[in-house]
Amino acid sequence: MKDRGTPLAAMLGAGLLSVSLTACGTDGALEPGGPDSQIESVLDVAAAFYPLEFALEQIGGERLSITSLTQPGAEPHDVELTPRQVAQLANADLVVYLQHFQPAVDDAVASVATGSSLDVSPAADLTLTAADHGHEHGDEEDREAESSGAVDPHFWLDPTRYASVADAIRDRLIELDPEGADQYSAAAAAFTQALTELDEEFSSALQQCRHRDLVTGHAAFGYLADRYDLHQVAIAGLTPDDEPTAAQLRNLVAHVRESGVSTVYAETLANPAVTETVAREAGVEVRTLDPLEGLTESSAGDDYFEVMRANLEVLRVGQECS
């Protein structure tokens, strides 16, 4: 991770000078009601990164003024908070984050958050670690590194885990804003139903595939693979900058050749160069999957559901599913 630089206390002081009392929820926030909305938001909420922001939008609607702490197009693993964002986090009624995924956010929550905070890790049931990310092509050094037990944070790529997180968000919103309980409950029910339907689509589409090995740019797809009986083989580790050694690359190319897979997957928000090298050496195609850590103008959809369905179509072709 990058050096986090400026102390949070200093950042907060600078941020409070530049952020007005009404600034929370304006940067990166979605305004579902538009300029003519008659509903005034009740809670200022800071979301650490896109999947949490999207869940809050779906459940809270216009009762929430939402600020995302990870800007569109930014790689969330190494996010650095600006003084303005630290001030927004400090003033928020609720901060929703995933502990250990973004150290800068963890530090800010511990240091300056004055409202409620919700770590969604327990609800997400983060059961996969670095040792589960599919580097069976590695050597003894790889296995020693994987034994450190770094936890895979990418729960949202399994819709059932994402639904559990949505329920936890609903419960905390009701606790903070009891008058909105009916709205939060109804919206959360609709959201989790949509996630259930998405899960069923994935289960059906990926049931009969020629290839079960899923060769990905970094180990972001462990929960998706685990849910749909695929076997993730990751080129990099749990973060995109955890690059493989030359020996690891040779072993991976050999594995791809021997397994007979026809596709390896690059990712949005990550440099595809290493993935393209593996594909070229192994003589297979490169397709792009989106780990949905954040949306960009080049994302294959405008929201979580659209991008996940685009991912599904890519997988159906790449895994040769019938």
Backbone CA torsion sign across 74, 235, 320, 199: negative
Contact 206, 316 (CB under 8 A): yes
Contact 296, 304 (CB under 8 A): no
CA distances from 175 to 117, 169, 292 (A): 12, 10, 29
Give all domains of the chain, ordered by start, each with its CATH number. 8-128+151-197 (3.40.50.1980), 203-318 (3.40.50.1980)
126-163 pLDDT per residue, tens: 999 877 655 444 444 444 444 446 899 999 999 999 99
| Secondary structure tally for the chain: helices H, strands E | 12, 8
Q: Mean pLDDT of all residues in the chain? A: 86
288-305 pLDDT per residue, tens: 999 999 998 889 999 999
Rounded CA separation 203/151 (Å): 25
Q: Output DSSP code: residue 40.
A: P
Burial of residue 292 (number of CB atoms within 10 Å: 0-12, 13-18, 19+): buried
Rounded CA separation 207/210 (Å): 10
102-135 pLDDT per residue, tens: 999 999 999 999 899 999 999 999 999 877 655 4
Q: At residue 286, what is the residue type? A: V
Q: Which two tokens stand for residue 251?
A: 């072993």
Percentage of the chain exceeding pLDDT 90: 71
* pLDDT at residue 18 tops 70: no
Helix 181-205 / helix 159-176 crossing angle, nearest 10 deg: 180
pLDDT at 38: 54
The strand pairing partners of 67, in sequence order, are: 46
Rounded CA separation 278/235 (Å): 9
pTM of the model: 0.85
